[in-house]
Structure 1
């Protein structure tokens, strides 16, 4: 009935296109992508994330501040410690899809397609 109407602003002239570009630019940094991947396993402190992504806590804090401003991560305070977690599943999905797309650039059948075949 409404098949010709855009869903969730996904038409080329949508007001959300510019915001989507900002989301992509936020994820156009390897450290931030690694942080998103690490947070898929659950909330982490800055120190834990710094160890996981092999960066200094100060550098990780700066990246987390940007991710927090973009509302991709949220925080929980426990005493003097702050824990970070993904705000929702969308950033995780975007990162996964970007990695899947990257696998396609290597040629052949990407690993994620093998995983799908194994489940069939």
Structure 2
């Protein structure tokens, strides 16, 4: 008897039909950013905003408070997208260029922040 091969590690792309009614509650978060990247964030914010809008997430840049805020809307279908949006804003606050950071919204992408200072050893 031949067994069917099942790939347990395959990542399936989210289908909005899995959640036709959307989110029941609004989830939101804020992320502070350093002042030295404020000008860059203002320049690229429209592309960040449109990328998140495709997934039903709204975002706001507050230059007075120095924060970026993201929240779900009635159009949000993917429940995990709020975590990905948080990761996007975290990458932006760490000076990752917006076109690279926006890639984190795709299902098959992830990131890891490496603290280089711990890897540098002092020569004797």
TM range (shorter): under 0.3
Structure number with greater CO (CA < 8 Å, separation at least 6) is 2
TM-score (norm 1): 0.27
Q: Which has the higher helix share?
A: 1
TM-score (norm 2): 0.26
Larger radius of gyration, structure 1 or 2? 2
